[in-house]
Copies of this chain bind each other. A is one copy, B any other.
Amino acid sequence: MYETNPKKLQEAYYATAYQLGGHGKRNVQVLKQAFEEMDGQLDSDQYGAGELIENFQDKIAAFLGKESAVFFPSGTMAQQIALRIWCDQRGLKKVAYHPLSHLEIHEEDGLKELHGIQPILLANRDRLIRLDDVQNMPEEVACLLLELPQREIGGQLPAFSELEEISAYCRQRGIKLHLDGARLFEILPFYQKTAAEICQLFDSVYVSFYKGIGGIAGAILAGEKAFTETSKVWKRRHGGDLISLYPYFLSANYYFDLRRDKFAQYYAEARELANYYQQCPGVTTRPAVPVSNMFHVHIRLPKATLEPVLLSVYEQTGIGFTHYLREVDETNCYFEVSIGDNYARIPKEAIKTAFELLAEKLGEVVS
């Protein structure tokens, strides 16, 4: 039997001439490009102060339509802190979020271990949080966190009207609403709204600069001035108030300017690419029609059957589909696709040919 080998698939993927997803490799060149034309005489920020960091924070605050913004080394730090502030303000250490929230599955329970905050999980692992989940919360909470799009279920979104209803309900009940906007830039084309129009539904907002924007790392937390000022105290407590954060926020600023207007393109390309996948035997995408630059590709095959198929298509076509496969169960696997600059660099004909070959080869093994 075929032995799967994650390293082999990854190497084969990066050996292809073209990869369907992403902006390109996360390598040192990402930093070098951002700083190539930068004036070396610009002064470093110093523990969150200085013209460069303040300018960037002001710029993103304005983009988000918020009074104030603070740059953080990570979203993990920014979001725990946001929830802590809202819990302290309410005097209640309970928040609500989705069972597949980043805080629940990727942060080693930092929220519980460092802040003693108990999460109430709304909805379930297969679907979005709906208005009635919020209306029927089993317990009182200080804050509700919504992740737009809900990444772990393929990047799904509620209708904007439902967001408005959830926001209105929370305001009426004194529940703070926090936006996990790790991929906020990515959903603007679907909603046909500005970031500010979406963010005005929320009391606090986190955005990331290394997903669609393609920076190195870092995040912004935005809200009213009193909120962001308190967040700076917690940032220091967490050990995130570094003497110099400029390697991150200056590159974030560089790639924000480079890509802020490209998300409609990524969104259109994601729909095109999802459509290619759907024409292959045994393949579905989640969501069926993407609502951002991302979606999940589910394939009705064991990993050990699918992996050699992909390897041979990569080799024959020079097109890389994914660098990894995750098993759902013994007969299903999936992977995530996020469209970036790479997709537009590939000749249309090459994509078409690669999918024809993939469809043919899958047809031979899918029952």
Contacts and interface: CB of A to CB of B under 8 A. Distances in A.
Given A114-B114, A216-B244, A239-B240, A29 B41 contact: yes
Contacts of A32: 35, 38, 40
A115 B239 CA distance: 13
B40 A27 contact: yes
Contacts of A110: 236-239
Nearest to A111: B237
Contact of A114 (B40, B210, B237, B242): B237
Please indicate which of the listed interface residues A28, A41, A80, A115 has the most CB atoms of chain B within 10 Å of its own CB: A28
A52 to B, nearest CB: 9
28 contacts: A26-B43, A26-B44, A26-B244, A27-B42, A28-B41, A28-B42, A29-B41, A30-B44, A32-B38, A32-B40, A76-B238, A76-B241, A77-B238, A80-B239, A107-B237, A107-B239, A108-B236, A108-B237, A110-B236, A110-B237, A110-B238, A114-B115, A114-B238, A217-B245, A238-B238, A238-B239, A238-B240, A239-B240
Interface stretch (A56-64, A168-176, A246-254, A281-289): A246-254
Contact of A35 (B35, B39, B72, B242): B35
Contacts of A107: 236-237, 239
A26 to B, nearest CB: 4
Given A108-B237, A236-B108, A210 B28 contact: no
Copies, count: 2
A240 to B, nearest CB: 6
Interface string A290-330: 00000000000000000000000000000000000000000
Interface in A59-82: 72-78, 80
A239 B38 contact: no
Interface of A: 25-33, 35, 38-44, 46, 72-78, 80, 107-110, 113-115, 210, 216-217, 233-234, 236-248, 250
Contacts of A108: 233-234, 236-237
A241 to B, nearest CB: 7
A29 B244 CA distance: 13
B41 A27 contact: yes
A84 to B, nearest CB: 9
Among A42, A108, A237, A239, chain B packs the most CB atoms within 10 A around the CB of A239
A165 B9 CA distance: 56
Contacts of A40: 27-29, 32-33
Nearest to A238: B238
Contact of A217 (B74, B114, B244): B244
A76 B241 CA distance: 9
Contacts of A77: 238-240
